[in-house]
Structure 1
């Protein structure tokens, strides 16, 4: 019976509405070129409507097919070949039907399709049953009453297969499609790629089957592509295609309502589905003659279906240089030597271009269950092979770079410590053989996630020092790993130690040179106490020579002699400590005492040069925590340099100003002279090794002074002295700020 014209138009309404919405969206894109997110959301809505229609139409087709089978079933004629052929055709064209059985009203199974995997007793009423999940597979039952009203024809529909069959490749490449039950439980999904972390999600309820199913689509991450400029035209073409598809589906539904055209409509639908695949399909008889090829296969090789059907080997798409390999694959398929992993070979397009394919083969079974030939599916793997080769080349380049490094690099599992990768330098440094297999590594130093590890480690076995840099990372399979780089710094450590010893030797040399220059001053200082001792000794002799010695005067003279001897001993002891080579020894000391000691050592030079020395102190100053001998050396060098800088200055203008002040938690000492001064460009060079402004200087004095001050966590610099000359300033911390570190 032909449906009314109004019903035919109603069948087109969903498609027309979808096309209108899509056209409106395309016009919006042309006018506004809005945000990509809005475009994607609108396209998602249209695709969901299309997908809903496709699923509902397929469910309706399956439901109508079962009704048709039930209508032709009377008595026990379900064992007849005609009924069996229709059942087999239905199961082949509708893979989502996994169960088909005939039951009485009490639920006893009288017959079930042997090609199906499900036959469950059903005691409900005709119509749709509840959705249930068995072994992770969602199923639903549809029951149809036979004409004699004593039996039920039961169809078991697999919802996961329905989703896999009805979601086309172009939908699966855009979205993850998930089917949810009425209680919002996920039943089945179809996906290909990772989801966009900020993806758009769409929901739509299915009207068929009427059990409250919901279709959900999650958008995949899509890279920005210049082709989006042509998106409106693509959407417009999609709208026309949807309109044509809706018209074709409506026409097919009208034709399928007539029982005599059902098989032809189902065959057309299967052909349309095969033509929509991107996989090339080829059917052959037992002798290798081509029976059928789909559109994707024709597009793959560039020949039409009319040119290919009926062909025998050798095929026109076999390259001459690959003829033997293609014949070997062809003969293996005809002989039934099928490989589950398929066959790899190479085909030739009509224009002569070669491309790699992977062929899977299986038996071709007709409607009567007879083996009539072979079915093959072809996948173009040219780009995949190129990507693998490029990945392999990239890996080889990466390994070459890693093995060319002087540093030892290793990647180990963060949990188990298993060594996942290491370069040749790591294996050589720590004696790992090439055949070691799986092994674990011990961390060089304690690991921490933040901040990254940067430490030194000593290999006591090989007596090498390493600079270790490590950080936590993520491996290719997503597991947490540790990347550690060990750089051999043994030579650098040795150079640093040699530099330290040379610096100490230079400081010792500077002290000895300073002592040589102080020789005359020391002679003058020692002559005074020694001359006094000689005078007191002569006086004691005179007192003892008197008839009645004055013992009181004798006692006083002896005390004076002792004081002068102590003074001479202090002078000698101070000089010996000054030139003695030893490790720094910090202790509490007073800047006034240090300054008095240095001025005492240089007193003869000050008097000889006629220099006026002034000391200014701002209030009471706390004690220092420092090496007194080292600070004396700094003060000695700075004052001695200031005295020598005033050799060309008139005697009446020779002034040495020493200022002591407190600057926050530091002592600030300034030593200024009235010499010729220093050029601005030479101020910073003064502290470089071997730079000197003297004719006979070594250029190490000021460099050693700065090293000593920086060792005490202070600063030393030079600047122009207001009124003429130069001024050297240094700062060192007071005792109260470093007292906690005192040993």
Structure 2
């Protein structure tokens, strides 16, 4: 029996795990070397001393309460768990933490317990580092001006930043929306949208799903989110989390100021374009008056014929109807000329629409036709059998074409050129719609070619010199380019491009 006790004593002393016997008041009755090592105090100095002296101050009361609970356990086979921070060895010493597993001593002697100690310092440091990392990540998110939401693969929010919370507070959002975590992100966006909610939500769902599935590296969407007292627009950018994590980061940036500036720029651009169109009408006016005089003279002639035939007896009904038909045709011709002019002069709408580029060219040719005939200039158009689809503001593109054609006709007339021809070529080249206008005029001098697109620069005796400058602005606003060259055989060559428009199903 004595040998067994000696063996147990040896096991107690030399075990790699810490063991202690503690009184209810915290005094150490017995402790092995492994446990003493955890406290960084010699075993002899711990015996008979309160263990609370070697525990961090913030855990001393908790230790006393824990020991009282242990000694009060009725079921003496039960082990109670507790975590202790030990007193730091110095101001720069790493934190030390132990887990205690205690049970009352199973005998008639009351008021003390057996305790097993496990060093959990490494776990505590890892947990502390994790918390510090999370706090740093949150601090970084909160420092960003964009509204940020981190979402999991199911589209639920796992984290938001202060900008998100502030936006929710300032716009009457619920406490759940302000907290963000756990909400269905797509439903949250759908609820916040004012217009086109279903379409935008569907586009957002598809884009976010593609990012989460690894099919896209980024998804970007501009959308309106108007409040009761102001109009707002936001840019949503979705990028994957990276570093092997599944999920995405969604950032919302307020682009209202940019959108308002773009809208103001479009308005100013259209005002300048309208002024340039009125200037073009001045060039076309004399030719249009001449062009109108022909159908109006015919109207007068057929009107007299109708009156004469109507008074004849017997009534020649077939001749009367034929004269009336001729009268209507001439009226329709005059109305067509005026309608084309009125449409060209009106303030254009800012919206774009799909259309065939060759139709816009033909419309412009119709407008400048009277001027070309008066100046004895022949205009020809060359394009393939297939239509050239573009998405543009039709009136503004017609304005560009009218300006280029008027310039070409007037250049030929000023130069008193023997060959009087303007040729338009429309085609799709390198994935772009391209229109080239060549003339047989005197062409550009090197000095003039360098400043041909400058505002208030003109070779004409009349005019403001805004036409080409405005035309370039219009083309560039449509995503294209406009440039001028001297033709290889003389004359001027002006070319502009526009993006080809393909419907969604054909891309």
Contact 2:219/2:238 (<8 A) preserved: yes
Rounded Cα–Cα distance in structure 2 between residues aligned with 1:552 and 1:460: 66
After TM superposition, the structure 1 = structure 2 runs for residues 692-703 of structure 1, keeping only pairs within 5 Å, are: 692-693=457-458, 696-697=463-464, 699=466, 701=468, 703=470
Contact 2:142/2:162 (<8 A) preserved: yes
Contact 1:625/1:734 (<8 A) preserved: yes
1:344 aligns with 2:86: yes
Query: Deviations for 1:499-532, whole angstroms, at most 9, x for unmatched residues?
Result: 3344344433332332233222222222333345
Q: Which moved more, 1:86-95 or 1:521-530?
A: 86-95
Rounded Cα–Cα distance in structure 1 between residues aligned with 2:500 and 2:121: 77
Rounded Cα–Cα distance in structure 2 between residues aligned with 1:437 and 1:536: 81
- Aligned in 2, Cα 1:605/1:629: closer, same or farther, shift over 3 Å? farther
- Aligned in 2, Cα 1:602/1:739: closer, same or farther, shift over 3 Å? farther
Rounded Cα–Cα distance in structure 1 between residues aligned with 2:89 and 2:313: 141
Q: What does residue 283 of structure 1 align with?
A: 43
Q: What does residue 658 of structure 1 align with?
A: 423
Rounded Cα–Cα distance in structure 2 between residues aligned with 1:376 and 1:587: 84
Contact 1:673/1:727 (<8 A) preserved: no
Contact 1:660/1:670 (<8 A) preserved: yes
1:465 aligns with 2:207: no
Contact 1:671/1:727 (<8 A) preserved: yes
Paired positions, count: 424
1:440 aligns with 2:440: no
Contact 2:145/2:163 (<8 A) preserved: yes
Rounded Cα–Cα distance in structure 2 between residues aligned with 1:547 and 1:416: 88
Q: What does residue 4 of structure 2 align with?
A: 84
Contact 1:624/1:733 (<8 A) preserved: no
Please state how far the C-alpha of 1:680 moved relative to its aligned partner. 8.3
Q: What does residue 162 of structure 2 align with?
A: 424
Query: Deviations for 1:421-458, whole angstroms, at most 9, x for unmatched residues?
Result: 32221111112688977853231332311323322344
The 3-state SS of whatever aligns with 1:521 is helix
Rounded Cα–Cα distance in structure 1 between residues aligned with 2:395 and 2:155: 55
Q: What does residue 194 of structure 2 align with?
A: none
Q: What does residue 261 of structure 2 align with?
A: 495
Q: What does residue 408 of structure 1 align with?
A: 147
Query: Deviations for 1:635-678, whole angstroms, at most 9, x for unmatched residues?
Result: 321111123445763x2457443144655696754322433516
The 3-state SS of whatever aligns with 2:249 is strand
Please state how far the C-alpha of 1:416 moved relative to its aligned partner. 8.1
Rounded Cα–Cα distance in structure 1 between residues aligned with 2:301 and 2:95: 119
- Aligned in 2, Cα 1:282/1:465: closer, same or farther, shift over 3 Å? same
- Which structure exhibits the higher relative contact order, with contacts defined as CA atoms closer than 8 Å and separated by 6 or more residues? 2
Match of 1:606 among 365, 375, 386: 375
- Aligned in 2, Cα 1:454/1:733: closer, same or farther, shift over 3 Å? closer
- Aligned in 2, Cα 1:543/1:694: closer, same or farther, shift over 3 Å? same
After TM superposition, the structure 1 = structure 2 runs for residues 48-59 of structure 1, keeping only pairs within 5 Å, are: none
1:576 aligns with 2:372: no
Query: Deviations for 1:372-421, whole angstroms, at most 9, x for unmatched residues?
Result: xx999998989x88x9999877766655543332211123444483x543
Rounded Cα–Cα distance in structure 2 between residues aligned with 1:378 and 1:733: 71
Rounded Cα–Cα distance in structure 2 between residues aligned with 1:465 and 1:512: 35
- Aligned in 2, Cα 1:732/1:622: closer, same or farther, shift over 3 Å? farther
Rounded Cα–Cα distance in structure 1 between residues aligned with 2:118 and 2:298: 118
Question: Could you list the runs of 5+ residues in structure 1 that have no partner in the other structure?
Answer: 1-80, 97-270, 290-312, 314-321, 364-369
Contact 1:714/1:733 (<8 A) preserved: yes
After TM superposition, the structure 1 = structure 2 runs for residues 528-547 of structure 1, keeping only pairs within 5 Å, are: 528-534=294-300
Rounded Cα–Cα distance in structure 1 between residues aligned with 2:363 and 2:259: 36
Contact 1:283/1:376 (<8 A) preserved: no
Contact 1:280/1:377 (<8 A) preserved: no
Contact 1:283/1:375 (<8 A) preserved: no
After TM superposition, the structure 1 = structure 2 runs for residues 19-34 of structure 1, keeping only pairs within 5 Å, are: none
- Aligned in 2, Cα 1:441/1:680: closer, same or farther, shift over 3 Å? farther
- Aligned in 2, Cα 1:86/1:509: closer, same or farther, shift over 3 Å? same
Rounded Cα–Cα distance in structure 2 between residues aligned with 1:376 and 1:282: 18
The 3-state SS of whatever aligns with 1:602 is helix
Contact 1:413/1:482 (<8 A) preserved: yes
Contact 1:469/1:485 (<8 A) preserved: yes
Rounded Cα–Cα distance in structure 1 between residues aligned with 2:56 and 2:318: 131
Query: Deviations for 1:347-370, whole angstroms, at most 9, x for unmatched residues?
Result: 46xxxx97466486999xxxxxx9
Q: What does residue 182 of structure 1 align with?
A: none
Contact 1:466/1:490 (<8 A) preserved: yes
Q: What does residue 444 of structure 2 align with?
A: 677
The 3-state SS of whatever aligns with 1:341 is strand
1:486 aligns with 2:277: no
Q: What does residue 720 of structure 1 align with?
A: 486
Rounded Cα–Cα distance in structure 1 between residues aligned with 2:82 and 2:317: 127
Rounded Cα–Cα distance in structure 2 between residues aligned with 1:554 and 1:438: 81
Rounded Cα–Cα distance in structure 1 between residues aligned with 2:405 and 2:120: 89
The 3-state SS of whatever aligns with 1:485 is strand
Rounded Cα–Cα distance in structure 1 between residues aligned with 2:427 and 2:493: 17
After TM superposition, the structure 1 = structure 2 runs for residues 388-399 of structure 1, keeping only pairs within 5 Å, are: 399=138
1:634 aligns with 2:400: yes
The structure with the largest alpha-carbon Rg is 1
Query: Deviations for 1:560-609, whole angstroms, at most 9, x for unmatched residues?
Result: 655544432332222123224455666666588546524423136525xx
CA RMSD for the aligned pairs?
A: 5.9
- Aligned in 2, Cα 1:622/1:722: closer, same or farther, shift over 3 Å? same
After TM superposition, the structure 1 = structure 2 runs for residues 84-123 of structure 1, keeping only pairs within 5 Å, are: 84-89=4-9, 91-92=11-12
